[in-house]
Amino acid sequence: MAQNISAAPEQNIPFWRDERVLGVFAQIGFIIVVILGAKLLGTNFASNVNKLGESQFICRDGSFSYRCAYDFMGSEAGFDISDTALDYVNTDSYWYAFYMGLLNSLKVGLLGVILTTFVGLFVGIARLSSNWLVSKIALWYIELMRNTPLLLQLFFIYFGVLLALPLIQDASPVLGLPIFLTNRGLSIPAPKFMSAAAIWVAFLILGIIQFQVTWILLARQEEQTGRATNRWARGLIGFFIIVIAGWFISSSVSDTQGLLTSKASRIRDVGDIEKVMLNRTNLDYLDEIDTLSPEEVDAAALKICVLRDSASEPNLIRQIERIGAPYTVRRFDRPDQVTAAYVEGDCELFAASKAILAAERATLENPSAHLIVPVKESPIVWSVPRYDGTNIFGGSKLLPEFTALLIGLTIFYGATLAEIVRAGILSVSKGQSEAARALGLSESQRLRLVVLPQALKVIIPPLIGIFLSLMKDTSLGLAVGYPDMYQVTFTTMNQSGRAVQGILLLMVVYLTISLIFSIVLNWYNSRNVLVER
Amino acid sequence: MTAITESMTQKLNAAFEGRINWRYFLQDNVTGSWYLAVWVVVLAAATVAYTINQMNVAPLTTIIILILWLVGLGFAIANGLFKKRTAIGSWLKTNLLGSVSNAILSLLLVLILAAAVRGIWSWAVTNATFDPELTKPEFRNPDGATWGVIPGAWELLMVGRLDREALPRVQMALGYIVVLGVISIGANVAGYLKKIRPLRSILLGLWAITPIIVYILLAGVSAEGDFINSKTLLIGEAVVVGLFLLLWWQRTVKFSVVNLVIWAAAWPVAYLIWRAIGKSEMFPPINVATWGGLMLTIIIAVSVIILSFPLGMVLALGRRSEIRGIPGWLLWPVAAILALWGLFVSTPSILGDIRNQADYVLAFWPILILGFAYLLQKMFQGNVVAAASTTFIEVIRGAPLITLLFMAIIMAPFFLSEGATLENVWAVIIGYSLFSSAYMAENIRGGLQALPKGQFEAADSLGLNTFQKMRFIILPQALRIVIPAIVGQFIGSFKSSSLVAIVGLFELLGMVAVIVSNPQWLGLRKELFVFAGVIYFIGSAVMSWYSRRLEAQLGVGER
């Protein structure tokens, strides 16, 4: 304000009304108040720490220092986490447990972001549907979600729906698909990545690069000749050739899977299993196995042992089923348990990676009497959940807590996003659509080339805000007992009695996440400022 | 027989002649593009399958729906083909049965809705029990709701574990608010507010002291302590008179002896009334830890919005403050001296006792002071007020609410002075208000930014000082713009107050957990969740309806 006034009257302003002077004084006063407040709190904190929680800042050598606040995180966690992305045992450190929690939070957050985008787009478009019923259903969905607390929805989904599902004893496939929904969670088929997958992914990337290069070259050619080419088809053909070739190359190159078996079993190759089976059952062809009684089949069945949830199981089973041999599978938690069963004679075959097998074979009494037979592997095998009457094996198991959190976040934020999508689409003026039609663009071209690019500029900034809120609300996993970063930290805080450190750690992580989001948002905004007329 | 058929066909052909071009019809509705065709076929297959399924489950409803659908289809066709425009036909054609895919989709959705309504109805009404006496597990129908839990646990749901002897006080508070609300709305509708000026002031005054009255009723006033505490009396008096002088200096209140006496008398009078209520033991203190249920939800939501509004306004103004910052020639030397002092005092002591690699980095923390100085200079031109407000707002907005709530509960004891304690309810309200004020600040800032620059310049050119400019020109307009956002935030506070259940307060959702662990109502979660959902839904819907009304009244968006 003061700058706007010409220089002459400036001399007349007494200093107690000069805004520049007042401003500096106000700020100095402000700083003094802040420092005094901080000092008061700091003194209180120091005296309370001495009284309430001196142990919080004890170093390993027993001395007291604020620098040792996080030393305890290096010691043994001692609690289990029901769902971890990486291998975790309760003897790992608190840091590692926290890391597992962070990964879980990110897992829910990222999956939630993806699903929310789909739900939001779908409902937002449904809200604009010309069908009255569709539009009204979408409206009521949005209103219901936005007018009730997220926590209530989570509780309802978790306690009211997921825990009210059938017991595991009553599991049955959903809609005839290999999907099991019980009160212990959702089991779905899932890809398991073998070591060959790394090579195959390289081919996949190569295919994508090829597609891009073809696309650019053809586009250039189109510009030069003025003749349209089928860029999609030519790019995709090359892509699929590379990817399929890569599949076979990677599975023939890679050689990490094996079977441990005794020389006496006469299995030197997975293909030998057929001969061995024919010998045992006295059949000419394995197709005739139906003619045997169930007891005979059971007696002849191959006894396979594997590690629980290992990729070796689906990989081997697929090949054995192709042969048609009967088999039984036993699953163990640790390699040495399998070896013990193998020594007992409960297992004929032990399927695992060659590294594990070699180590286990070395522990046997007479290693030379046992062979490690190579097993072919595909880059990716589908592990399908199977139900054996008491339990469900294989596939990927989503805990009810995880499912509740994911569904709750998705449907809640999907409704919020739907309103934003709707507003974004409505923000594109009618004239744009009319102009596109007048130019003779088809409906899909109109949406793709005219409406959506303009709508997206309106949609994306609040969209990033919604994603950030969703990431923050993964903390509600605590309410349904999902072991996210929050729950792990709370267990840590309860066990170690170090509350202040835990809360600060959470704050730092969340601030980092939100900082990343706002950097992305600013970057996007600076690139895509809506051109206004 | 054939003759009749032939004549029918001829009649039909004649009827359709020139009215419909089948080729165009097919192209528009089915064969226009391959994905449209696929969509129609898939939709039709799904609908047929589902209809057959529903025929087995509930034949009667399904047949009625099918007949209604066919009749509607008839109306729509008649409308399109024969120019027989009926209102219902036109509506059906534009909204439900406009194209083949729309018509099939409508049928499918109606069938699904019917099935859903049937399922909910049979759970909530047909198979349900309503008697509060029959809520024990052995009396329940496993396929139906046990609504008896709601009247049975009504008091728990409403006020939690509050001492039942204090119930009349809750009713008094509720009655006071309801009566005041009814009078205000009635006076507004009847137009008395504009006619009788004092009425408006009286009502505003009553609303202003409502929080205090409710506090007295629900929390009570302690009788402990002296009747007159001179220290409190003097400090309060100094604050009030100081405030008066500040406002006078800023030319927002007129200085007159009458004004000064009114201001000066306000504090002692209020204080003495307070002590008198305490000493009379009319409203002995209630343990606030026993608050619960819907009452606690409302207390938290309302306190948070009341506290966060002024705080948010200060933060918003702070963030937008344009006062000249601390100049570089002052900032850099101070920062350098502080950093050097830290490097000479703190660093050697840390370096002398290295425990791990991190300590090497940690030891050089004084360099951060220079970093902060750089950020202050670069991002805020040295404006400390703007820097502090922005940092506060962004830090709070970056963390989830439950972090703030836990922080308030777990960390508050560490920052309190010797001997002081803080009930969890107050800690939560303070933490939640801080959280909410950051969002409120952003909303208000939006309103400030939406104001045209001319308004600020006009106020400046009139010679108004900053305080007057804000009070009379800027804030009235800015706040009007942000009413929808503020109401939205109020709804958010109301809904998110459920999160205090996680930190161990027994508001509505927290009470549900308590009730379902009672053997009498064991596991009746669904019913209670539905009840809580209905309360939240009605509360939020009423508020957003009121916000739309207020917007229309104040003419938001029209200038």
Residue after which a domain boundary falls, among B74, B107, B126: B126
Residues 6+ apart with CB under 8 A from A291: A283
Chain B contact present for A4, CB below 8 A: yes
Give me the phi and psi of B47, to 5 degrees please.
-65, -45
Chain B contact present for A215, CB below 8 A: no
Nearest residue, CB atoms, A160 vs list B362, B496, B526? B526
Cβ B399–A143 below 8 Å, yes or no?
no
| B95 shares its domain with B28 | yes
Chain segment B237-289, per-residue pLDDT in tens: 899 999 998 888 877 788 888 888 888 888 889 888 888 888 888 888 888 88
What is the end-to-end Cα distance of chain B in Å, rounded?
75
| B105 shares its domain with B202 | no
Cβ A510–B417 below 8 Å, yes or no?
no
Mean pLDDT for the stretch of residues A11-17: 69
In this structure, are residues A417 and A116 in contact, taking their beta carbons and an 8 Å threshold? yes
| B252 shares its domain with B164 | yes
pLDDT of residue A394: 75
* Interface test with chain A among B47, B102, B329, B414, by most A beta carbons within 10 Å: B414
Q: How many CB atoms lie within 10 A of CB B269?
A: 9
In this structure, are residues B171 and B148 in contact, taking their beta carbons and an 8 Å threshold? no
In a domain, B519, yes or no: no
C-alpha angle A77-A78-A83 in degrees, rounded to nearest 5: 85
pLDDT of residue A530: 52
pLDDT of residue B49: 93
> Residue B17 — pLDDT band, cuts 50, 70, 90?
low
In a domain, B297, yes or no: no
pLDDT of residue B164: 86
| B86 shares its domain with B179 | no
Scanning A420-479 for CB atoms below 8 A from B yields: 472-473, 475-476, 478-479
Give me the phi and psi of B495, to 5 degrees please.
-70, -45
In a domain, B45, yes or no: yes
| B116 shares its domain with B189 | no
| Nearest chain A alpha carbon to B527 | A160
* CA atoms within a 13 Å half-sphere pointing along the CA-CB vector of A102: 14
C-alpha to C-alpha distance for A455 and A424, rounded to whole angstroms: 5
**What residues are paired with A351 via a beta bridge?**
A259, A306
3-state secondary structure of A382: strand
pLDDT of residue B440: 92
Alpha-carbon distance A213 to nearest alpha carbon in chain B (angstroms): 29
| B11 shares its domain with B110 | yes
Give me the phi and psi of A147, to 5 degrees please.
-100, 5
Chain segment B345-375, per-residue pLDDT in tens: 888 887 777 777 777 888 888 889 999 999 8
Region of poorest pLDDT, from B6-20, B94-108, B208-222, B525-539: B6-20
Q: How many CB atoms lie within 10 A of CB B305?
A: 20
Residue after which a domain boundary falls, among B264, B280, B296: B280
Q: Is beta strand A302-307 parallel, antiparallel or unpaired with respect to A349-353?
A: parallel
Q: How many residues does chain A have?
A: 533
Say if residue B529 is exposed, middle or buried (CB neighbours under 10 Å; 0-12, 13-18, 19+).
buried
Cβ B109–A472 below 8 Å, yes or no?
no
Crossing angle (nearest 10°) for helices A312-323 and A272-281: 60
Residue A170, token pair as written in the block: 């009553």
C-alpha to C-alpha distance for A483 and A102, rounded to whole angstroms: 9
Please determine, for residue A205, whether its predicted confidence score (pLDDT) is greater than 90. Answer: yes
pLDDT of residue A10: 52
Chain segment A307-319, per-residue pLDDT in tens: 877 778 888 888 8
- Residue A145 or residue B324, greater confidence: A145
Chain B contact present for A75, CB below 8 A: no
pLDDT of residue B278: 85
Chain segment A38-64, per-residue pLDDT in tens: 998 888 888 877 766 566 677 766 666
* Interface test with chain A among B529, B530, B544, B546, by most A beta carbons within 10 Å: B529
Q: Which residue from A339, A323, A312, A310 is spatially nearest to A270, judged by alpha carbons?
A: A323
DSSP B348-386: HHHHTT--SHHHHHHTTTTHHHHHHHHHHHHHHTT-HHH
Cβ A500–B526 below 8 Å, yes or no?
no
In a domain, B350, yes or no: no
Nearest residue, CB atoms, A147 vs list B417, B529, B537? B537
Residue after which a domain boundary falls, among B280, B308, B340: B280
pLDDT of residue A529: 61
Region of poorest pLDDT, from A250-254, A409-413, B502-506: A250-254
In a domain, B146, yes or no: no
C-alpha to C-alpha distance for B545 and B283, rounded to whole angstroms: 37
| Nearest chain A alpha carbon to B358 | A67
Give the type of residue at B454.
G
Cβ A151–B98 below 8 Å, yes or no?
no
Please determine, for residue B30, whether its predicted confidence score (pLDDT) is greater than 70. Answer: yes
C-alpha to C-alpha distance for A71 and A309, rounded to whole angstroms: 35
| B39 shares its domain with B98 | yes
pLDDT of residue A412: 94
Q: How far is CA A284 from CA A183, A273, A275, A303, B34, in A?
A: 46, 14, 10, 22, 51
Cβ A500–B411 below 8 Å, yes or no?
yes
| B99 shares its domain with B194 | no
Scanning A490-509 for CB atoms below 8 A from B yields: 493, 499-500, 503, 506-507
pLDDT of residue A435: 93
Cβ B525–A510 below 8 Å, yes or no?
no
In this structure, are residues A20 and B324 in contact, taking their beta carbons and an 8 Å threshold? yes
Q: Which residues of chain B are within 8 Å of residue A4 when distances are taken between CB atoms?
A: 460
How much of chain B exceeds pLDDT 90, in percent? 26
pLDDT of residue A517: 85
What is the ipTM, given to two decimal places?
A: 0.86
| B168 shares its domain with B71 | no
Alpha-carbon distance B106 to nearest alpha carbon in chain A (angstroms): 7
| Nearest chain A alpha carbon to B407 | A503
> Residue B535 — pLDDT band, cuts 50, 70, 90?
very high
How much of chain A exceeds pLDDT 70, in percent? 93
Please determine, for residue A472, whether its predicted confidence score (pLDDT) is greater than 70. Answer: yes
| B121 shares its domain with B163 | no
| Nearest chain B alpha carbon to A1 | B460
In a domain, B455, yes or no: no
Number of domains in chain B: 2
How much of chain B exceeds pLDDT 70, in percent? 96
Cβ B540–A146 below 8 Å, yes or no?
yes
pLDDT of residue B288: 86
pLDDT of residue A532: 47
| B36 shares its domain with B111 | yes
Q: Which residues of chain B are within 8 Å of residue A39 when distances are taken between CB atoms?
A: none
Alpha-carbon distance A455 to nearest alpha carbon in chain B (angstroms): 22
Owning domain of residue B9? 2-126
Say if residue A335 is exposed, middle or buried (CB neighbours under 10 Å; 0-12, 13-18, 19+).
middle
| B121 shares its domain with B164 | no
Region of poorest pLDDT, from A191-200, A477-486, B61-70, B116-125: A191-200
Residue A161, token pair as written in the block: 């729906």
Cβ B502–A134 below 8 Å, yes or no?
no
Query: Which helix (DSSP H) or strand (DSSP E) does residue A380 occupy?
Result: strand A380-383
Chain segment B57-71, per-residue pLDDT in tens: 888 989 999 999 999
Crossing angle (nearest 10°) for helices B384-398 and A19-52: 40
Please determine, for residue A72, whether its predicted confidence score (pLDDT) is greater than 70. Answer: yes
Mean pLDDT for the stretch of residues A258-285: 78
3-state secondary structure of A303: strand
Residues 6+ apart with CB under 8 A from B483: B547, B550, B551, B554, B556
In a domain, B292, yes or no: no
In a domain, B41, yes or no: yes
In this structure, are residues A95 and A76 in contact, taking their beta carbons and an 8 Å threshold? no
